Structure 1
C-alpha cells in the first residue's frame, strides 16, 4: 500500500506584484475558492482549494526580495472534465497557453 494518497498542495512563490494577478486568475477566472488566508498587507498568503483534497498555496516573495527564490515552481497541472472549455476561457481572458 502506498503512503502517498495524492497531492495535498503545491506552493507558488510569485513576486509581491504578481500576487493579485495570481489571485484574479485562480479565484475569478477559474472559480476556485480560498480556504485559508494569513499574513498581512505586506505579506498576504492564501490556500486555494482545487475542488478535491488538494490545494494551491500562494506565498509571495517578501517585497524587499521581490525576486522569485531559487527552485521556483515550473508549472501547475489542474484536472478538468472539459479541457477545451477551460483552455478557451483562459485564452479569452488574454492568457497564452503554450502546451
Structure 2
C-alpha cells in the first residue's frame, strides 16, 4: 500500500445549517456538492479548500456528543495552514469565533492556535 494524500475528513454535526454556515461563511470552504439522503434522514455536504476536496459534513438524527476535548481516543483535531496567523485570528474574532492565545510550537518555532466548530470539534490554525 502506498498512501498518496489525505483524501477527505468526515465530520458529523448536530445542527446541519449552523455547521454548514460555519464551514462555508466563517472558514470559507467552497461547496462542491450537497445531497439529502432521505433513507438516512441525513445531509452530506462535500467541501473544498481551494481546489482540494477536504471535508464531508454529515448530519444524522441525534448523534452522540463528542467524548471530551480534545484528548478523547480518536481524531484529536483538524489543522488548517495559514500564511498569517494574526490576520486569520483577527478575521475569526471579527466573525464572532473565539480562539485561544497564539502559541509557539517549541519544536518547529511555528505559531498556532485552536478554536472550535459549532459542535466543539477542535480546529487548529498553523502558520506556515
Given the two structures, how large is their TM-score scaled by the length of structure 1? Answer: 0.74
Structure 1: unaligned runs, 5 residues or longer: none
Matches within 5 A, 1:3-82: 3-15=2-14, 17=15, 19-40=16-37, 42-60=41-59, 62-63=60-61, 65-68=62-65, 73-82=75-84
Given the two structures, how large is their TM-score scaled by the length of structure 2? Answer: 0.60
Asked if structure 2 preserves the Cα contact closer than 8 Å seen for 1:49 and 1:56, the reply is yes
Q: CA RMSD in A?
A: 2.6
Higher relative contact order (CA 8 A, sep 6+): 1
Structure 2: unaligned runs, 5 residues or longer: 68-72, 101-112, 114-128
Q: What is the aligned residue count?
A: 94
> SS where residue 79 of structure 1 aligns?
strand
Tell me which structure has the larger Cα radius of gyration. Answer: 2
Q: Higher helix proportion, which one? A: 1
